[in-house]
Amino acid sequence: MKFLGLLVLLILNSLVLTPNALALQPIIVSYAVQPVSHFNQQLRVAQAQHQPWADDPNKISNRYAGDKFTLVSTQANKDSILTYQVSEFSKQHPQMLLIISLKQDAKLWQVSSAQLAWKCSDGKHFGTDRCNIAEHEASTAP
Protein backbone atom coordinates (compact mmCIF):
# COMPACT_ATOMS: atom_id res chain seq x y z
CA MET A 1 0.00 0.00 0.00
CA LYS A 2 2.89 2.38 0.73
CA PHE A 3 4.26 1.68 -2.74
CA LEU A 4 0.95 2.72 -4.33
CA GLY A 5 0.89 5.91 -2.26
CA LEU A 6 4.44 6.76 -3.30
CA LEU A 7 3.61 6.07 -6.94
CA VAL A 8 0.59 8.40 -6.82
CA LEU A 9 2.69 11.08 -5.11
CA LEU A 10 5.41 10.75 -7.76
CA ILE A 11 2.85 11.11 -10.57
CA LEU A 12 1.24 14.16 -8.95
CA ASN A 13 4.65 15.80 -8.45
CA SER A 14 5.56 15.24 -12.08
CA LEU A 15 2.31 16.86 -13.17
CA VAL A 16 2.90 19.87 -10.91
CA LEU A 17 6.57 20.30 -11.77
CA THR A 18 6.30 19.86 -15.53
CA PRO A 19 4.68 22.86 -17.28
CA ASN A 20 3.86 20.81 -20.37
CA ALA A 21 2.10 18.19 -18.26
CA LEU A 22 -0.14 20.89 -16.85
CA ALA A 23 -1.01 21.98 -20.37
CA LEU A 24 -1.83 18.39 -21.28
CA GLN A 25 -3.71 17.61 -18.05
CA PRO A 26 -5.17 20.94 -16.93
CA ILE A 27 -7.25 21.30 -13.79
CA ILE A 28 -10.46 22.98 -14.89
CA VAL A 29 -12.93 24.15 -12.25
CA SER A 30 -15.27 26.15 -14.50
CA TYR A 31 -15.54 27.33 -18.08
CA ALA A 32 -17.46 29.74 -20.27
CA VAL A 33 -19.37 28.24 -23.19
CA GLN A 34 -18.41 29.84 -26.49
CA PRO A 35 -20.68 30.25 -29.55
CA VAL A 36 -20.14 27.79 -32.41
CA SER A 37 -23.09 28.20 -34.82
CA HIS A 38 -21.61 31.09 -36.84
CA PHE A 39 -18.29 29.26 -37.16
CA ASN A 40 -20.10 26.07 -38.25
CA GLN A 41 -21.84 28.05 -41.00
CA GLN A 42 -18.43 29.21 -42.27
CA LEU A 43 -17.15 25.65 -41.96
CA ARG A 44 -20.02 24.27 -44.08
CA VAL A 45 -19.26 26.84 -46.80
CA ALA A 46 -15.56 25.92 -46.71
CA GLN A 47 -16.45 22.22 -46.94
CA ALA A 48 -18.72 22.87 -49.92
CA GLN A 49 -15.82 24.73 -51.57
CA HIS A 50 -13.47 21.82 -50.72
CA GLN A 51 -11.06 24.04 -48.80
CA PRO A 52 -8.31 21.80 -47.33
CA TRP A 53 -8.54 23.10 -43.75
CA ALA A 54 -12.22 22.15 -43.57
CA ASP A 55 -11.48 18.40 -43.73
CA ASP A 56 -8.88 18.20 -40.95
CA PRO A 57 -10.17 18.44 -37.35
CA ASN A 58 -6.87 19.86 -36.06
CA LYS A 59 -6.91 22.59 -38.71
CA ILE A 60 -10.58 23.28 -37.94
CA SER A 61 -9.69 23.63 -34.25
CA ASN A 62 -6.78 25.94 -35.10
CA ARG A 63 -9.05 28.05 -37.30
CA TYR A 64 -11.66 28.37 -34.56
CA ALA A 65 -9.06 29.21 -31.90
CA GLY A 66 -7.14 31.77 -33.95
CA ASP A 67 -3.49 32.77 -34.08
CA LYS A 68 -3.03 33.48 -30.37
CA PHE A 69 -3.62 29.83 -29.42
CA THR A 70 -1.47 26.72 -29.85
CA LEU A 71 -2.83 23.20 -30.14
CA VAL A 72 -1.33 21.20 -27.26
CA SER A 73 -3.41 18.02 -27.17
CA THR A 74 -5.90 16.02 -29.20
CA GLN A 75 -8.05 13.17 -27.93
CA ALA A 76 -9.82 11.07 -30.54
CA ASN A 77 -12.92 8.95 -30.00
CA LYS A 78 -14.98 7.01 -32.53
CA ASP A 79 -16.62 9.92 -34.40
CA SER A 80 -15.44 12.83 -32.28
CA ILE A 81 -12.28 14.67 -31.36
CA LEU A 82 -11.50 16.86 -28.38
CA THR A 83 -8.74 19.46 -28.79
CA TYR A 84 -6.98 21.58 -26.19
CA GLN A 85 -5.68 24.97 -27.30
CA VAL A 86 -3.61 27.17 -24.97
CA SER A 87 -2.87 30.87 -25.40
CA GLU A 88 0.54 32.42 -24.91
CA PHE A 89 1.34 33.74 -21.47
CA SER A 90 1.41 37.54 -21.49
CA LYS A 91 1.65 40.44 -19.07
CA GLN A 92 -1.67 41.88 -20.22
CA HIS A 93 -3.84 38.74 -20.17
CA PRO A 94 -4.16 35.55 -18.18
CA GLN A 95 -3.30 32.30 -19.95
CA MET A 96 -6.39 30.88 -21.62
CA LEU A 97 -7.43 27.31 -22.37
CA LEU A 98 -9.90 26.60 -25.17
CA ILE A 99 -11.41 23.13 -25.33
CA ILE A 100 -13.05 22.38 -28.67
CA SER A 101 -15.20 19.33 -29.30
CA LEU A 102 -15.63 18.29 -32.93
CA LYS A 103 -17.90 15.57 -34.25
CA GLN A 104 -18.08 13.91 -37.63
CA ASP A 105 -21.36 13.25 -39.39
CA ALA A 106 -21.54 11.92 -42.95
CA LYS A 107 -17.76 12.45 -43.28
CA LEU A 108 -18.10 16.17 -42.49
CA TRP A 109 -16.75 17.73 -39.30
CA GLN A 110 -18.50 20.35 -37.21
CA VAL A 111 -17.73 22.01 -33.90
CA SER A 112 -20.18 20.65 -31.36
CA SER A 113 -18.98 22.79 -28.45
CA ALA A 114 -16.23 25.14 -27.29
CA GLN A 115 -15.36 26.05 -23.72
CA LEU A 116 -13.01 28.77 -22.55
CA ALA A 117 -11.24 28.96 -19.18
CA TRP A 118 -8.28 31.01 -17.99
CA LYS A 119 -5.66 30.92 -15.28
CA CYS A 120 -4.75 34.02 -13.30
CA SER A 121 -1.05 34.62 -12.69
CA ASP A 122 -1.24 33.24 -9.14
CA GLY A 123 -3.74 30.53 -10.05
CA LYS A 124 -3.29 26.79 -9.85
CA HIS A 125 -6.25 25.94 -12.08
CA PHE A 126 -8.18 27.11 -15.12
CA GLY A 127 -11.60 28.61 -14.47
CA THR A 128 -13.73 31.69 -14.88
CA ASP A 129 -12.44 33.55 -11.81
CA ARG A 130 -11.90 37.28 -12.16
CA CYS A 131 -8.23 38.12 -12.47
CA ASN A 132 -6.74 41.31 -11.10
CA ILE A 133 -4.84 42.52 -14.18
CA ALA A 134 -2.69 44.95 -12.12
CA GLU A 135 -1.55 42.03 -9.93
CA HIS A 136 -1.07 39.89 -13.04
CA GLU A 137 1.17 42.53 -14.64
CA ALA A 138 3.14 42.99 -11.40
CA SER A 139 3.72 39.25 -10.89
CA THR A 140 4.92 38.74 -14.47
CA ALA A 141 7.29 41.74 -14.52
CA PRO A 142 11.00 40.87 -14.90
The predicted-structure confidence for 17-38, as pLDDT tens digits, reads as follows 344 444 446 788 888 999 999 9
Positions of the chain with pLDDT under 50:
1-24, 136
pLDDT at 14: 41
Please indicate, yes or no, if residue 19 is contained in any of the structural domains.
no
pTM of the model: 0.73
State the Cα–Cα distance between residues 140 and 44, nearest whole angstrom.
41
**Total domains in the fold of the chain:** 1
Please indicate, yes or no, if residue 17 is contained in any of the structural domains.
no
State the Cα–Cα distance between residues 33 and 31, nearest whole angstrom.
6
CATH number at residue 93: 3.10.450.630
Whether the Cβ atoms of residue 70 and residue 97 lie closer than 8 Å to each other: no
Please indicate, yes or no, if residue 65 is contained in any of the structural domains.
yes
Please indicate, yes or no, if residue 9 is contained in any of the structural domains.
no
pLDDT at 11: 42
Whether the Cβ atoms of residue 96 and residue 116 lie closer than 8 Å to each other: yes
Please indicate, yes or no, if residue 32 is contained in any of the structural domains.
yes
The boundaries of the domain holding residue 84 are 27-139
One-letter amino acid at 93 equals: H
- Max Cα–Cα distance, the chain, nearest Å: 60
pLDDT at 82: 95
